[in-house]
């Protein structure tokens, strides 16, 4: 991270005392603390403006720029902040803020523009207009990433700006990489709440994750990028597990989340950002085939790819490691040859599981919410399609849930009822939470349970080997995942 990039801890609380506590307990890595006053219900400005601690950035966002402050109350608070001689004051490029731009004394101005709907077409003109309005101000431009390629326009803006003059990033899930890479691109500051704190804009990455997971302070132009491609990605622990391994081995590589609803909107990033490898998850496991130069034979047979490796000549090689994860997780618990295994679902993960199990000699049954898809998968994999009613009338050795039902944050939902679990083992391919509602139902009936974390880890080990050409540091990756999942479980239950 450049020395001119300030780390600004975001404090956006509902009460004055909560905000004061967070300010006084600011992370040592923060250069200053942004106090968002417009969202505080019982605001006592003197309690906050007079608190001694790290330098303050006072922000009172107007309703026009996504905040909660009425115009009259906001003007009075801005005057009080200037009277308190705070180090930084956030102002907006609006008529009502023009008088404040002319008389800020020793307080430095952060002149802000926020568009939480889209990314404007002419960003350079916007930057020039803000610079001209108050020479010497620190310009801040925050836009919403409608598509992932919007972050490339913000990157280009940062690279062209006068050094140290501009903070720029994209909000929203598709803008997350810009928050991690903006310091590398020349942003004068980054904004981050503490882990568990209230974000002040969509897509903010916690301060702890910026330093401890992504190591944003050590990213250089030579840093290699890996990532996960999917939609949505809020549930994914892949960045945590792969970055833990990369950090432990001292590798100058980062693994980032690339959220995209369609492949077309993501493809510009693949070449522009020189991404070396991808994990591929829903809804792209089957759609990615059209972009690949070569496909592993088993992945082609399965019809789904969850791993893309960019080879030295720039060609894209697709493979599937989901099947490895299924086999390793189940083979620890039972001998698969000759066992009756039912798979609930018919998507990409179900396909990988079906082909893996038939190759291992299991008798595979497919039960799908979409009967046509279930029949197609059963025919392709050499299994048998069954109706859901068969789950109550037949017995199986194992049952696998290959649907996303029950995934965080909808962890209180189960795809199946307890009466449909007529088997000796249940495996849920969902790994977050580590004990899904389905697994808790199975445990209540004394049925052996296998968490999706086991499959997730095994397929992740295989992905690492594809990208890095070496054996994965399994214990490091396992500890990173299980520590996170167990902490979440303790918090929820």
Overall number of domains in the chain: 2
What is the Cα–Cα distance from 13 to 1, expressed in whole angstroms? 28
What is the Cα–Cα distance from 294 to 297, expressed in whole angstroms? 9
CATH number at residue 441: 3.40.50.720
- 458 domain residue, yes or no: yes
- 1 domain residue, yes or no: no
* pLDDT tens digits, 322-357: 999 999 999 999 999 999 999 999 988 899 999 999
Element (H, E) at 92: strand 88-92
- Domain boundary, last residue among 194, 221, 248: 221
- What are phi and psi for residue 225, nearest 5 degrees? -115, 135
- 392 domain residue, yes or no: yes
Query: Do residues 279 and 155 both lie within one domain?
Result: no
Q: Is 7 helix (H, G, I), strand (E, B) or coil?
A: strand
Give the single-character DSSP code of 361: T
Contact 69, 38 (CB under 8 A): yes
Query: Do residues 166 and 57 both lie within one domain?
Result: yes
Query: Do residues 287 and 159 both lie within one domain?
Result: no
- 105 domain residue, yes or no: yes
Query: Do residues 202 and 260 both lie within one domain?
Result: no
CB atoms within 10 A of CB 276: 17
pLDDT of residue 225: 97
Whether pTM > 0.85 for this model: the answer is: yes
Element (H, E) at 24: helix 16-24
Query: Do residues 192 and 227 both lie within one domain?
Result: no
CB atoms within 10 A of CB 234: 12
Query: Do residues 227 and 213 both lie within one domain?
Result: no
Give 3's contacts (C-beta < 8 A, 6+ positions apart): none
- 42 domain residue, yes or no: yes
Low-confidence ranges of the chain (pLDDT < 70): 1-3, 95, 490-493
Give the single-character DSSP code of 60: -
Query: Do residues 331 and 408 both lie within one domain?
Result: yes
Place of tokens 């197609």: 376
Distances (CA, A) of 338 to 364, 397, 440: 10, 10, 27
- 246 domain residue, yes or no: yes
Query: Do residues 238 and 367 both lie within one domain?
Result: yes
Active site residues: 114, 140, 285, 322
Query: Do residues 283 and 176 both lie within one domain?
Result: no
- Domain boundary, last residue among 165, 192, 221: 221
Q: Which domain holds residue 493?
A: 222-493
Give CA torsion, residues 178, 213, 432, 468, to 10 deg. Answer: 90
Query: Do residues 351 and 402 both lie within one domain?
Result: yes
CATH number at residue 193: 3.20.20.70
- 22 domain residue, yes or no: yes
What is the Cα–Cα distance from 71 to 65, expressed in whole angstroms? 12
CB atoms within 10 A of CB 45: 18
Nearest to 61 by CA among 164, 201, 198: 201
CB atoms within 10 A of CB 106: 8
What is the Cα–Cα distance from 130 to 92, expressed in whole angstroms? 9
Query: Do residues 187 and 246 both lie within one domain?
Result: no
- 80 domain residue, yes or no: yes
- Domain boundary, last residue among 190, 221, 252: 221
What is the DSSP track for 102-139? T--TTPEEEEEEEESS---S-HHHHHHHHHHHSTT-EE
What is the Cα–Cα distance from 57 to 152, expressed in whole angstroms? 28
Query: Do residues 200 and 289 both lie within one domain?
Result: no
CB atoms within 10 A of CB 357: 26
Strands 396-401 and 275-280: unpaired
pLDDT of residue 491: 60
- How far is Cα of residue 10 from the mean position of the Cα atoms in its chain? 19
């Amino acid at each position: 991270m450049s020395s001119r990039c300030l780390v600004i801890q975001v404090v956006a609380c509902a009460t004055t005392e909560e905000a004061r506590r967070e300010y006084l307990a600011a992370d040592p890595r923060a250069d200053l603390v942004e106090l968002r006053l417009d969202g505080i219900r019982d605001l006592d400005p003197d309690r906050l403006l007079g608190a001694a601690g790290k330098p303050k950035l006072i922000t009172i966002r107007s309703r026009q720029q996504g905040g909660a402050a009425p115009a009259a109350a906001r003007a009075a608070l801005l005057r009080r902040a200037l009277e308190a001689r705070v180090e930084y004051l956030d102002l907006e490029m609006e008529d009502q803020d023009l008088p404040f731009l002319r008389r800020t004394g020793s307080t430095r101005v952060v002149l802000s523009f926020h568009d939480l709907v889209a990314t404007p077409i002419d960003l350079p003109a916007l930057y020039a207009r803000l610079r001209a309005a108050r020479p010497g101000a620190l310009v801040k431009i925050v836009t919403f990433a409608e598509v992932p390629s919007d972050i490339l326009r913000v990157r280009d803006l940062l690279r062209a700006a006068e050094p140290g003059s501009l903070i720029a990033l994209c909000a929203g899930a598709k803008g997350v990489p810009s928050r991690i890479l903006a310091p590398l691109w020349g942003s004068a500051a980054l904004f981050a709440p503490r882990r568990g704190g209230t974000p002040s804009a969509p897509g903010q990455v916690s301060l702890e994750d910026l330093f401890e997971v992504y190591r944003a302070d050590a990213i250089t132009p030579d840093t290699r990028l890996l990532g996960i491609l999917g939609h949505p990605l809020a549930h994914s622990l892949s960045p945590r597990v792969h970055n833990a391994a990369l950090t432990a081995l001292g590798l100058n590589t980062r693994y980032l989340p690339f959220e995209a609803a369609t492949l077309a909107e993501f493809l510009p990033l693949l070449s522009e950002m020189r991404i070396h490898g991808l994990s591929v998850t829903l809804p792209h496991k089957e759609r990615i085939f059209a972009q690949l130069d070569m496909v592993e034979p088993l992945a082609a047979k399965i019809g789904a790819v969850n791993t893309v490796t960019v080879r030295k000549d720039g060609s894209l090689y697709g493979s599937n490691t989901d099947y490895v994860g299924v086999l390793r997780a189940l083979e620890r618990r039972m001998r698969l040859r000759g066992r009756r295994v039912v798979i609930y679902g018919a998507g990409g993960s179900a396909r990988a599981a079906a082909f893996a199990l038939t190759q291992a000699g299991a008798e595979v049954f497919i039960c799908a919410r979409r009967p046509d898809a279930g029949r197609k998968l059963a025919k392709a994999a050499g299994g048998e399609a069954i109706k859901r009613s068969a789950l109550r009338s037949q017995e199986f050795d194992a049952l696998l849930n290959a649907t996303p039902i029950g995934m965080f944050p909808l962890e209180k939902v189960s795809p199946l009822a307890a009466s449909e679990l007529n088997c000796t083992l249940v495996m849920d391919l969902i790994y977050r939470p580590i004990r899904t509602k389905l697994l808790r139902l199975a445990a209540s009936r004394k049925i052996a349970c296998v968490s999706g974390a086991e499959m997730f880890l095994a397929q992740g080990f295989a992905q690492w080997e594809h990208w890095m050409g070496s054996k994965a540091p399994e214990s490091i990756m396992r500890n990173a995942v299980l520590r996170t999942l167990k902490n979440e479980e303790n918090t929820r239950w």
